[in-house]
């Protein structure tokens, strides 16, 4: 495997050739997810898996953070003025299969990290939010900076985490606590909750991940593969079913009354204004009132 760079992803090897580093590479946009990023991420994971020297894969983000989720300037702000649409034109009815096809493909791209033959480690600084948390939590291990943040704010309006990894990592009740509120939690909180492997001061993040991958890389590749297959097999059936349902519901959330209101507000005032309204402490009726007053 040689180093490679695509529009959104950078792939490099460590000096000793045993670790593949995949970097989400849209730093000016907080590595926000575009239509091409999921497929380029999957391709990079597959290239690393095909390299006989690689023992493990580290996934990180360029610039100020890991990944800020889907690029809402390309999605939420693109609704046509005056049209009620969440993720598609629903003037002739909503087609759930259209949403399912699009998001299922993205979810399968992110899940390549979970199914990877080589262990995958997410190195998270800044923020891993919304779709960015989907990506991070698809990795086998997650190491975060203490001051980094992770969570799924679109669970308030306009989203459902399609990789559905929360409950498998922290259990049912803690997963509900995160997704019922859409709150972001720090690296320290994520470690205490059991969501991630470890949280360390930002200055120690890179070295901590290196110490971990150095240790993993001392194990034969076939041994790593066997251990991962045994562990993954305990949840694979449940993950597949959860992801199928989550992908369907993700499309529905974007075409609910509140979801359409969110996108129309984003189209008129920008997604930052829509997010501010979404994250206000008021109930959904308050959200709708704010949206109507903006028309």
Please write the tens of the pLDDT for every residue from 100-150: 999 999 999 999 999 999 999 999 999 999 999 999 999 999 999 999 999
Domain containing 245 — which CATH number?
3.90.226.10
Total domain count for the chain?
1
Per-residue confidence (pLDDT) for residue 82, from 0 to 100: 39
Instruction: Kindly report which listed range (14-18, 63-67, 80-84, 242-246) carries the lowest average pLDDT score.
Output: 80-84
CA atoms of 131 and 8, how far apart (whole Å): 15
83 half-sphere exposure, CB direction, 13 A CA radius: 15
Which pTM does this prediction carry?
Answer: 0.92
Per-residue confidence (pLDDT) for residue 93, from 0 to 100: 76
- Residue 172: partners with Cβ closer than 8 Å, 6 or more residues away: none
78-105 per-position pLDDT tens digit: 554 434 455 677 777 788 898 899 999 9
- Domain extent, residue 284, equals 4-294
In terms of Cα–Cα distance, which of 75, 77, 63 is closest to 8?
Answer: 63
Inter-axis angle of helices 271-278 and 284-294, nearest 10: 150
Cβ distance 242 to 102 under 8 Å?
no
From start to end of the chain, where are the E strands? 4-5, 9-13, 19-24, 56-61, 120-124, 127-129, 141-145, 149-151, 184-186, 198-200
The H or E element containing residue 269 is helix 257-269
Of 182 and 276, which is predicted with more confidence?
182
Cβ distance 76 to 266 under 8 Å?
yes
Backbone angles phi, psi at 158, to 5 degrees: 80, 40
Inter-axis angle of helices 257-269 and 271-278, nearest 10: 140
197-217 per-position pLDDT tens digit: 999 999 999 999 999 999 999
Where residue 167 falls (left for φ over 0; alpha for ψ -120 to 50; beta otherwise) is alpha
Backbone angles phi, psi at 288, to 5 degrees: -60, -40
């Amino acid at each position: 495997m040689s180093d490679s760079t695509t529009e959104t992803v950078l792939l490099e090897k460590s000096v000793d050739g045993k670790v593949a580093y995949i970097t989400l590479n849209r730093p000016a946009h907080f590595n926000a997810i575009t239509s091409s990023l999921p497929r380029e991420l999957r391709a990079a994971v597959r290239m690393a898996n095909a390299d006989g020297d690689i023992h493990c894969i580290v996934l990180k983000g360029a610039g100020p953070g890991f990944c800020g989720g889907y690029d809402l300037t390309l999605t939420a702000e693109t609704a046509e003025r005056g049209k009620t649409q969440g993720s598609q034109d629903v003037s002739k009815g909503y087609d759930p299969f259209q949403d399912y096809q699009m998001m299922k493909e993205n979810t399968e791209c992110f899940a390549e990290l979970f199914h990877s033959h080589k262990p995958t480690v997410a190195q998270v600084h800044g923020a891993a939010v919304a779709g960015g948390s989907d990506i991070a939590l698809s990795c086998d291990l997650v190491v975060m900076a203490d001051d980094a943040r992770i969570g799924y704010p679109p669970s308030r309006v306009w989203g459902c985490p399609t990789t559905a990894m929360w409950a498998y990592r922290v259990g049912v009740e803690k997963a509900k606590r995160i997704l019922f509120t859409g709150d972001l939690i720090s690296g320290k909180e994520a470690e205490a909750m059991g969501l991630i492997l470890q949280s360390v001061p930002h200055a120690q993040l890179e070295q901590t991940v290196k110490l971990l991958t150095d240790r993993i890389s001392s194990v034969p590749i076939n041994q790593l593969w066997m251990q991962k297959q045994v562990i993954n097999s305990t949840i694979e059936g449940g993950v597949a079913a959860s992801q199928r349902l989550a992908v369907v519901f993700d499309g529905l959330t974007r075409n609910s009354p509140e979801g359409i209101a969110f996108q129309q507000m984003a189209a008129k005032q920008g997604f930052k204004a829509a997010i501010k309204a979404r994250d206000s402490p008021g109930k959904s009726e308050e959200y709708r009132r704010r949206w109507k007053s903006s028309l």
